[in-house]
Amino acid sequence: MAIVGLGYVGLPLALEFAKAGCQVLGLDTDQSKIRELSLGRSYIRTIPADHVAIVVRAGKLSASCDFSLVKKADAILICVPTPLKNCREPDISYILKSGAAIAPFLRADGGNRPKLVVLESTTYPGTTDEDLREVLEQGSGLRAGKDFHLAFSPEREDPGNPLSKVAEIPKVVGGLSPACLERAKELYGKAIKTLVPVSSTRVAEATKLMENIFRSVNIALVNELKIIYGAMGIDIWEVIEAAKTKPFGFMPFYPGPGLGGHCIPVDPFYLTWKARKYGHETRFIELAGEINTAMPDHVVEKAREVLKKEGKPIAGSKILLLGLAYKPDVDDDRESPSYVLMEKLEALGALVNFHDPYVPQIRPNREHSKLAGRKSVSFESACDLMLIVTAHTCFRDYPFQKIKKPIIDTRNCIQGSKKPSLYFQA
């Protein structure tokens, strides 16, 4: 089998299938990833190098930039990014390019049964059975459902969560036809313990969007309540801790300085775009997006307020952001609210540095290209204000109580005796 895209989704999946005894070919256009895997090394912090080395040495996992090698594979899984364009329109170009690259090699060899293509990238309903199908059929001269099988199975990867095991997370699977579904179930059954078959690829695509829209809307709710309760002198974190003791009808979500990661800031707008094609508005999704997008402005205003109390303008003040990753204990900085905060603060004249033990240097990225190359500085670096953006576990051991400068905590990271005299929440 082959896996196209060896990032935070593709690599863990490749390792799981390899551990299950499958012969896995990893394909990616990034030659540095191919080089690292060929040497048995990991380039994702949360994936131990020995997990890679074991399956590479056993000959179960190989990697290449040569997409023509899929002609030897009986199944091809596509795990590539699905970002948004500037106008919040879906960008499925990576999916379509991957489909075009593998299409010429979909014909079954000799008497072998038809190949299977599965899309795992989060996208709007209809991508698999319309857009990807068209590219595959045009590029191969074959018919989906007859000459090759086609399915969709959304990724459910949770980077940095030690309790999240690929093999143990139930896998939703939808096929273009009943035969396509059975073929996909057969494949995933080799590595995944629990399969959740659904009636179509569109149902499977919609399932993934619902999962992330649910999170986006509820995060927006607690973000709004944080501001309202804060104005009343009520600690939202204490409220959540009390509310989550209810054993039914409540699920805790937590506020923050904005949304991060590839999924939640992006995926809901795939449905928003598609819904317009059917003449419908997605008011909950749009409102949640407005609230979550506005959270960095709330944090910036809090920074201005705190600095003013210290007799300093925000222009010219040195601000140290703690945390560049979008979630605790990972090196994943995709869509991190830290970038938005850096740009907004610097637009007001602040001098901004960051400290993150997991992200030593800002990598090139499409959305915030001007920040690429900046390096993490020491926690002890001189500053006028410290702003905690990511609640890395290691931060709990930092001597915040000794800091004589104001600290704004957006994640409830500092608790108890660790709180300094100039402690604020935002």
Q: Is 263 in the active site?
A: yes
Contact 354, 383 (CB under 8 A): no
The residue from 22, 263, 383, 413 that is catalytic is 263
Element (H, E) at 355: strand 351-355
Rounded Cα distance between 132 and 4, Å, is: 14
Q: What residues contact residue 370 under an 8 Å CB cut-off, 6+ apart? A: none
Rounded Cα distance between 75 and 93, Å, is: 21
Closest by CA to 322, choosing from 257, 375, 388, is: 388
Contact 198, 174 (CB under 8 A): yes
Q: Name 64's bridge partners.
A: 27
DSSP 163-205: T--GGGS-EEEEESSHHHHHHHHHHHTTT-S-EEEES-HHHHH
Rounded Cα distance between 264 and 252, Å, is: 16
**DSSP assignment letter at 26:** E
Active site residues: 263
